[in-house]
Amino acid sequence: MIEIDGSRGGGQLLRTALSLSAVTNKPFKITNIRAIREKGGLQYQHLTAVNAIAKICGAVVRGNELHSKELEFIPGKVKGGSYSFDIGTAGSTTLVLQTILPALLREERESIIGVIGGTANPMAVPVYDFKYVFLWYLNKIGIETKLDVAKHGFYPRGGGRVTLNIKPCKELRELNLTERGKLGKLYVFSVASKNLERGMVAERLVDGFKRQFMDNLETKIEYVNTLSPGCFICAVADYGNARLGYTALGKLGVKAEDIGRECAQGLLSEIESNATVDYFTADQLLLYIALAGGGSFSTSKITNHIKTNIEIIEKFIDVKFEVRDKTIYCRK
């Protein structure tokens, strides 16, 4: 039984443990779950992730209750297929998908996972970053997926609907990114609720972004039906060998133009760092380069998420990570 102190990190620590427990068939016990957070223990999105992966791998679970600070997880056999999960709040759909995805890669048939909840959350992977950056990297290492965003969901009511198709993957390729290539296009996605259309919020998000970037932009503006009003702008810098992403969410009392400018400045910071992977995506890719048996990339900063993720991965998989400056190496 692998023992984990959950006070060393947040929900990412738990999700990585769940994913790798299902993949390696190694049980674990975690205590002090999310003790560093203001609202500690299992919240709705964490509980959904626990119950979802437990269903997929037939696990025996103790402590899978709302606000629980201790969990014991004994995995069984992974079974691919079609599954649907409802978080019940605006909790992050992408974090639930992130937990499930690794376990289904070795299955003989395609799996289809539907999740209902939030699609643009603070402290979580926004849905377009997940689709156009994270899943793009997974494709580079041999993982074929397709994400459909049927409906966007904002805080507090959520109601977003996403579906992820995961094809079987027999072998992962190593991801070694020393250079990102030449900057090509900047893809900008501006999304706002229908009731914000009169105020031209989506267009104004783009206007704010354009105050920093003007050239090689390919923009897409969407107004969508949602249960709660909201908006976001996602920008993706495509270098051919690499992609960098940044998303800024709408905030009450903040002008749309200022949100657009925030997105541009965040992306510019990633670009100027010369990193091959933005720091949001970096901690998500660690698990996959470990499963591939090795890999390397540079990132704009070494976050606590990255450090704690490395610790957890090394508990489950026989690999060793090394961080030199802002470059991460993984070897058997």
Q: Give CA–CA dist 53/258, Å, rounded.
A: 39
Q: Are strands 145-151 and 160-166 parallel, antiparallel or unpaired?
A: antiparallel
Q: What is the pLDDT of residues 241-251, one digit of tens each?
A: 999 999 999 99
Q: How sure is the predictor about 278, in pLDDT bands with cuts at 50, 70 and 90?
A: very high
Domain span(s) for CATH 3.65.10.20 in the chain: 2-177+277-331
Q: What is the pLDDT of residues 39-54, one digit of tens each?
A: 788 988 899 999 999 9
| pLDDT at residue 14 in the model | 93
| pLDDT at residue 291 in the model | 96
Q: How sure is the predictor about 144, in pLDDT bands with cuts at 50, 70 and 90?
A: very high
Domain span(s) for CATH 3.30.360.20 in the chain: 186-272
| pLDDT at residue 38 in the model | 75
Q: How sure is the predictor about 175, in pLDDT bands with cuts at 50, 70 and 90?
A: very high
What's the mean pLDDT in 286-308? 95
| pLDDT at residue 215 in the model | 81
Q: Give CA–CA dist 257/253, Å, rounded.
A: 12
Q: How sure is the predictor about 141, in pLDDT bands with cuts at 50, 70 and 90?
A: very high
Q: Which of 46, 67, 152, 305 is catalytic?
A: 305
Q: Give CA–CA dist 25/74, Å, rounded.
A: 8
The verdict on whether 305 is a catalytic residue reads yes
Quote the mean pLDDT of the chain: 94
pLDDT above 90: residue 213: no
| pLDDT at residue 176 in the model | 93
Place of tokens 């690794």: 102
Q: What is the pLDDT of residues 82-135, one digit of tens each?
A: 999 999 999 999 999 999 999 999 998 999 999 999 999 888 889 999 999 999
What's the mean pLDDT in 284-309? 95
Domain spanning 186-272: CATH superfamily: RNA 3'-terminal phosphate cyclase, insert domain (3.30.360.20)
Q: Look up residue 111 and give its two tokens.
A: 């799996």
Q: What is the pLDDT of residues 59-68, one digit of tens each?
A: 999 999 999 9
Amino acid 191 reads: V
| pLDDT at residue 9 in the model | 78
Domain spanning 2-177+277-331: CATH superfamily: RNA 3'-terminal phosphate cyclase domain (3.65.10.20)
